[in-house]
Structure 1
Amino acid sequence: MRYLLKNLAFVLTFGLLSVPVYAADNPNLLVMGEDADEDSVPRNSRVFKRVVYALQGQMNYYSFDVYDETYVTMDNFTQGRVRRSDAELFDIARSVKRPPIDVVVVFTMYASAQQKDHTTKIKARITGRMINAKSGKFIDTFEVDSGQFWNAPNECSRECILEVVGDKAKILAEELGAVLAEKLDWLVEGQMAENGQDRSATNDMITDYYLIFDGFSAEDFMDIEEYLVIFSGYKSHRPTEQRHTRSEVLYRSSIGTAKLSRNLKKMLGELDMRATVTFEGNTFTLKRITRRGEKRKPSVDGGW
C-alpha cells in the first residue's frame, strides 16, 4: 500500500506518465572526419571540407542542432591537426561542454583516380556512423559510393581531379547525410511525429547514465529505487558498485538530462532527503547532506 500510494503521489505531482513534455531536449550534433588511414582523404583537403559542409547541411535540414567543430574547440584544442584517430575524435567530442555534445557523426572518405589514354577514371566512397557522445554507444551507420567510375578529362591535373572529386563527393555526402539524419530522426522522434508532436525531453534514443548516490544507506537506496523505475523514459538499471553508504547505478533511459535532473531533485524532496546534485558528461552525483542528531524516520507501516 505504501509503495502504491507513493507512486500515485509522485505521478500526480510530476505528471510523468500522462502529460506530454514539449520543452525540447534536441540532440546537439558534431560532424567530424576520421582520416587516420593514410589512404583516406585528409582533413586539410578541400574535398574533405565540402563533405563536412554537406553533412552539416543535411543534419541541419532535419532540425538537429549542429555545431561547427572549429568554433567549439578553438579555445582548448590544437587546430588544423590531420590524420586523427577515433580516440582523439571521441575525446574531443566528450570534452566539449559548451554546448554538450550528444551525438558524433563520424565519416571517412576514400577516393582514387586512374589516368588512361582516353580519360581519367575516378571512384569515391564515404562511410559514416553515429556514436552517442555521452556513453560511446553505437547508434547507426551507412555507406555510399560512386558505383561506376566517374569520367574526367584524360589530361586531368591534380587541380582538375580535386574539383571533379569535390563535386561528386558533395553529392555522395548529401545522400549520406540525408540517410543518417533520417535514421537519427526516427530514433529521436519515434512515433511522436505521427501524433503531431515535436521532439520532447523524452525520446526513443536510449542514453546510459551513471547515477552515484554518496552517503545514502542501503535503506535509503531502496526508497530511491522505487522512484527511479517510474521516471519517464525508464528502460532499465543495474548496480555497478554498492557499498554500505555508496551506490553507483547504470541507468538506461530516453529521458533528457534536464528532466532527469529535475526529477532527481524532486525525488529528494519527496523523500525528505538533503543532497547536492552535480552533473558532468553522463554522470549524476548525489552527495547526502547529513545533520548532527538527524535520524532516519521510521515508516508508519513497517515498509511493506
Structure 2
Amino acid sequence: MANWHFNRFLQPRPLLNRMAMGSLALSMLMATTNLATAATTGSGMRILVVGEDSDSSTVSRQSDVFKRVTSELQRVMADHGHRMVDEEMVAVNCGWKIKTRRPKTELFEAAKLANSCDKPNTHSRFMAMFRMFADKKSAGYATMLRLRLVGEVYDLTTNELVTSITYPRDRAALEFSAPADCDKNCVTNHIGLHSADMATSVGETLGRILDGRLVGASYTEADNEHSANQQAQTKDNCCPDCCDTATTYQVTLRSFSTVRAMALIGMMSEEFPGYISHEIISKQPGIWKMEYVTQARVAKLDEWLNTMLMDMELDPDRDVIISILDGSLVLEKLSRDGQPLPRRVGPSFR
C-alpha cells in the first residue's frame, strides 16, 4: 500500500503538471550538491557592512562620521540590488554587544558567528569592511584636515579577498581646510560632509565589482535589464492584498521525504506569488533548512501553504503542523502517507 501511494505521488497532477520535470531534477541536483549556492531572482547577495577602527588614527565607531560612512555605503550598494545586512541589527538579533576599536580578526569572527546564528536575516555572503583615516593640523590661518577611506570586500564562504579600493586613488589623502578656530563639532561636521562623498564613490565602485562577480564574465548591460525585468515580474504577479515588504524566513522541513521536500521547495519558489529568492542552508536526514525571501503577507503565505499541502494529498489538520513565528516557518510532517484527499480544480495560488 505504501509503494502504491508513493507511485501515485510521482504521477502528474494538476499543480505539478506546471512544473517541468527537467527543472525539478535540476533543482534537486543543485540543492543536494551545492548547498551554498543562492537561488537569487532579481536580487543581489547579502552583504554585511562593518568598520574597522582598531588603529588610533581611524575614526571610531562612536563617531557620527563612522555612522555616516556606514549608512552611505549601505545605501549605494543597496541601489545596485544587493541586500544589506546591518551589523547593529545582527547584534540585537543574536544578543551580542558591539565593542569599539576592534581589529580585523574580531570582525571576521563576528561575521562567521552571525552566519551560524539561527535567524537567516543575520546571514551574509560578503563582508564589506572600511577604514576611515582622519587627522588635522593647524596652519595658522586655517585648520587643515586630511581624510583617506579604504574599502575591502571578503567572500565569507570562500574566505577570499574579492577586492579593495582606497580613496582618493591619486594622492595620499584628501586635504581640505576648515576655520582656524574649528572646534571638535566643527571638525566633525566638515569631515562628515566630505566622508559621505568619499563613501559614495567607494560604495559605487564596490557595488559595480560585486555586480560583475555575481554574474561572472558574461556580465553585460543586457543582464542588468533582465534582472530589472525579473524584479518587475515579481511585483506584477502578486496582488496588492497578497504582498507587502519583502520578509526573510528560515524555513524548516521536518520528516519529509526527499521527493516531497523538493516538490515543496519547487512550488514555493516557482508558483507562490511574491517569491524573491531562496537558498538551501543545510540538509540532513529528515531535515531541510533554507532561507526563503518573499513579499507575501503572512496570512496569504499560510493560506498557500495549506493549499499546497492539500494539492500534495496531505491533510493540514492531520498530517502536517505549520508554524509561522518571528521569521521562522516550520513544516513538520506527522503521519505516514494515508488516503489521498480530493483534488481541487482551478488556480492554486492567487
Q: CA deviation at 1:92?
A: 1.5
Deviation at 1:11, TM superposition (A): 8.6
Structure 1, unmatched stretches of 5+, are: 1-8, 201-255, 266-273, 281-304
Correspondence list, 1:124-143, <5 A: 124-143=147-166
Equivalent residues in 2 for 1:20-99 (5 A)?
23-24=41-42, 26-97=44-115, 98-99=120-121
Correspondent of 1:14 among 23, 26, 30: 26
Shift of 1:88: 1.4
Q: Counterpart amino acid of 1:63?
A: G
Change (3 A) 1:156 1:23: closer
Distance of 2:62 and 2:79 partners within structure 1: 26
What displacement does 1:120 show?
0.8
The residue correspondences of 1:229-268 to structure 2 (distance < 5 A) are 258=279
Percent identity between the aligned chains? 24
Provide the rounded CA distance (Å) in 1 between the counterparts of 2:281 and 2:96.
Answer: 34
Question: Structure 1, residues 267-287: CA drift from partner, whole Å, max 9, x if none?
Answer: xxxxxxx9557679xxxxxxx
What is the distance in 1 between the residues matched to 2:154 and 2:179? Answer: 39
Aligned CA distance change for structure 1 residues 160 and 279 (closer, same or farther; 3 Å): same
Residues 148 and 174, structure 2, Cα contact 8 Å, conserved in 1: no
Deviation per CA, 1:180-209: give whole Å up to 9, x if none. 111111111332544443299xxxxxxxxx
The AA in structure 2 aligned to 1:134 is: T
SS at match of 1:42: coil
Higher helix residue share: 2
C-alpha contact (below 8 Å) 2:49/2:70 kept by paired residues: yes
Q: Tell me, yes or no, if the aligned pair for 1:107 and 1:128 is still in contact at 8 Å.
A: yes
Match of 2:188 in 1: 162
What is the SS of the residue equivalent to 1:198? helix
Residues 1:62 and 1:101: Cα distance change in structure 2 (over 3 Å): same
Match of 1:187 in 2: 213
State how far apart, in whole Å, the 2-side matches of 1:109 and 1:73 are.
22
Show the 5 A alignment for 1:90-239. Answer: 90-97=108-115, 98-99=120-121, 100-145=123-168, 147-190=173-216, 191-195=218-222, 196-198=225-227
Q: Does structure 1 retain, via aligned residues, the 8 Å contact 2:128–2:151? A: yes
Per-residue Cα deviation, 1:147-191 (whole angstroms, up to 9, x for no partner): 552010011111111110111111111111110111111111332
Q: Find the aligned partners of 1:22 and 1:132 in 2 and give their Cα distance.
A: 17
Q: Could you tell me how far 1:257 is from its partner in structure 2?
A: 8.1
CA distance in 2 between counterparts of 1:95 and 1:188 reads: 24
Alpha-carbon distance in structure 1 between the residues aligned to 2:174 and 2:74: 26
Provide TM-score, normalisation by structure 1: 0.59
- What displacement does 1:79 show? 3.1
Aligned partner of 2:251 in structure 1 is none
Q: Any unmatched runs of 5+ in structure 2?
A: 1-20, 31-38, 231-276, 291-350
The alpha carbon displacement at 1:112 in A equals 0.8
CA RMSD of aligned residues (A): 3.3
TM-score (structure 2 length as normaliser): 0.51
The aligned residue for residue 6 of structure 1 is none
Change (3 A) 1:132 1:114: same
Contact between 1:94 and 1:134, CA under 8 Å: does it hold in 2? no
Matched residue of 2:94: which SS? Answer: coil
**Structure-1 separation of matches of 2:195 and 2:25:** 53
Question: Does structure 2 retain, via aligned residues, the 8 Å contact 1:22–1:198?
Answer: no
